[in-house]
Structure 1
Amino acid sequence: MKFQKLEVWQLSFQLSCSIYKETKELRDWGFKDQITRSGLSVPSNIAEGIERQGVKEQIQFLYIAKASLAEMMTQAMIGREISYLDKDFVEKILSDAEKISAMLAGLIKSIKARKQPS
């Protein structure tokens, strides 16, 4: 399975790119670094997980991607509260993140089912 063909990877890739674009002028380097790194971690861990041989490793990396997504969502909500990030932008990425999270859960479930003996 090529990770680039997965819709969940494509959506998380776009989410990460949008975070970089939205925060490019942000002067709080600590906040900017943290939210861009957590956003970057999502498609990166999906890609790494899908390219792993073992089912256990695949699932582990997908869970890491899911956790990074939750971290990014938290940072986005904080960014909105402290007026670092536009409210509409945050609502959009939170909505996208919810969709990505559900897709990751479905992919994990699918991989786990494949692992089960018939």
Structure 2
Amino acid sequence: MHRFKDLEIWKMSRIFCSDIYKTTYSFPETEKFGLANQLRRASVSVPSNIAEGCSRKSNKDFSRFLEIAIGSLYEIETQLLISNDLGFLQKNKLDILLLNLSSIIKMTSKFKSSLK
């Protein structure tokens, strides 16, 4: 069993989640229940699944929760690109978020493969 608060992937994904919340504050009011909500829910899912996976007794179970977290990360990437396409997110902010996102995906994937 791992202590989730000690995992760098959990720390980074938690900060990233806060960044997503701050970013979506500027989205149009009409997106309150659209992309803004989807981005927030997916971003909360990442550190939550890492934490929940840590509570599992086997690496196989933990790995499954990491896989779900990775899926949420790719969902966020798609939603960020759509947000940029629609003009809700400026290119410079998109680039920063995608860079951080890519880092988290790589670290999580590498950590997941180390559990086998």
> Is the pair's TM-score, using the shorter chain for normalization, greater than 0.5?
yes
- How many Å apart are 1:50 and its aligned residue? 1.6
User: Is structure 2 residue 111 aligned with structure 1 residue 107?
Assistant: yes
Report the 3-state secondary structure (helix = DSSP H, G, I; strand = E; otherwise coil) of the residue aligned with 1:83. coil
User: Is structure 2 residue 77 aligned with structure 1 residue 73?
Assistant: yes
- How many Å apart are 1:99 and its aligned residue? 0.8
2:58 aligns with 54
C-alpha distance in structure 2 between counterparts of 1:48 and 1:85, whole Å: 31
Paired residues in the alignment total 112
C-alpha distance in structure 2 between counterparts of 1:108 and 1:42, whole Å: 14
Match of 1:52, as an amino acid? Answer: R
- How many Å apart are 1:51 and its aligned residue? 1.8
C-alpha distance in structure 2 between counterparts of 1:57 and 1:7, whole Å: 19
- How many Å apart are 1:98 and its aligned residue? 0.8
2:38 aligns with 34
C-alpha distance in structure 1 between counterparts of 2:56 and 2:92, whole Å: 37
1:10 aligns with 11
**Runs of at least 5 residues in structure 2 that lack an aligned partner in the other structure:** none
User: Is structure 2 residue 20 aligned with structure 1 residue 19?
Assistant: yes
Moved more, 101-110 or 59-68: 101-110
- How many Å apart are 1:25 and its aligned residue? 3.6
Match of 2:17, as an amino acid? Answer: S
C-alpha distance in structure 1 between counterparts of 2:44 and 2:94, whole Å: 16
Report the 3-state secondary structure (helix = DSSP H, G, I; strand = E; otherwise coil) of the residue aligned with 2:115. helix
Q: Deviations over 1:39-63 (max 9, x none)?
A: 1111111111122112221000000
TM-score by length of 2: 0.91
**Runs of at least 5 residues in structure 1 that lack an aligned partner in the other structure:** 113-118
Percent identity between matched residues is 36
- How many Å apart are 1:86 and its aligned residue? 2.2
TM superposition outliers: structure 1 runs of 4+ over 2 Å: none
Report the 3-state secondary structure (helix = DSSP H, G, I; strand = E; otherwise coil) of the residue aligned with 2:50. helix
